């Protein structure tokens, strides 16, 4: 996995909590703690985006399209 080194500015209170977690051996070092936190946040934002996009769908329209798409498919499917 390729990695890049960056510099960040962080609230002293949060940094104290990160250091506490490192001392308790929850994380091996500050970098790993911050890397995992950022990764988790990015995944959560991606999941929330999917949920927001799905919420835009109209269930009646989706069902109508699904039923329309299935109306003639049975005759055209190949036999296995």
pLDDT tens-place values along the chain, 80 residues long: 798 999 999 999 999 999 999 999 999 999 999 999 999 999 988 888 888 888 888 888 888 888 876 665 556 666 77
Tokens found for residue 75:
């005759």
- The residue whose two tokens read 């999941």 is 47
């Amino acid at each position: 996995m390729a990695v890049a080194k960056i510099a960040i500015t962080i609230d002293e209170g949060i940094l104290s909590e990160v250091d506490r977690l490192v001392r308790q051996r929850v994380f091996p070092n500050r970098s790993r703690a911050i890397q995992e936190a950022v990764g988790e946040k990015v995944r959560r934002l991606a999941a929330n985006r999917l949920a927001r996009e799905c919420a835009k769908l109209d269930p009646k329209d989706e069902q109508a399209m699904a039923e329309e798409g299935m109306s003639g498919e049975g005759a055209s499917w190949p036999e296995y």
